Structure 1
Amino acid sequence: MHSFTPEDLIQYVYNETSTQKSAAIRGALETDWKLREKYEEIISAQQALEKVTFSPRKKAIDNILAYAEKSLAHATEV
């Protein structure tokens, strides 16, 4: 019997495991309820992360643009 880590399960969820390891994890998920519970937590977290969106604040964008403008002005002076 294998002992799978949360990292193994994450790789499995994202299809990053070998065919043999995937088969072993599938088999273990059918019989190991603690592993199955951890797997369900990872699936739930994955679904929650897919809904998250990120966008920078307007002030951060303004600061970047101001810096770029200042850098461009300095470059043309030299």
Structure 2
Amino acid sequence: MAIFTQEDLLLYLYKETSLAQNEAIEAALKNDWELQEKLATLKESITLLDQPLESPRMEVVLNVLNYAREAVETGA
């Protein structure tokens, strides 16, 4: 049985593997639960990365602006 790295699985997810590599990975996935878990974790990570970032609270933005203004006024 071939050993597949996370890089191999990422290439597989992004459809950048050859037909032979696809077949080998898919055959390994049928029998190797650990590889299935690695693939599921990568899929979840990709899904999380595709989500838009949340905006900071207005209070945080105002605190940063106030800090910057005070720094300019004091010459720091």
Taking structure 2 as the reference length, the TM-score comes to 0.67
- Calculate percent identity across the aligned residue pairs: 39
Structure 2 CA distance, aligned partners of 1:11 and 1:22? Answer: 10
2:20 is matched with 20
* 1:2 and 2:34 aligned: no
Q: Scaled by the length of structure 1, what TM-score is found?
A: 0.65
How many residues matched?
56
Point out where structure 2 has 5 or more consecutive residues left out of the alignment: 55-76
Write out the 4+ residue segments of structure 1 that deviate beyond 3 Å after TM superposition. Answer: none
SS at match of 2:52: coil
Which residue is equivalent to 1:71? none
2:30 aligned with 1:30: yes
Q: Deviations over 1:12-59 (max 9, x none)?
A: 0000000000111011111000000000000000111111349xxxxx
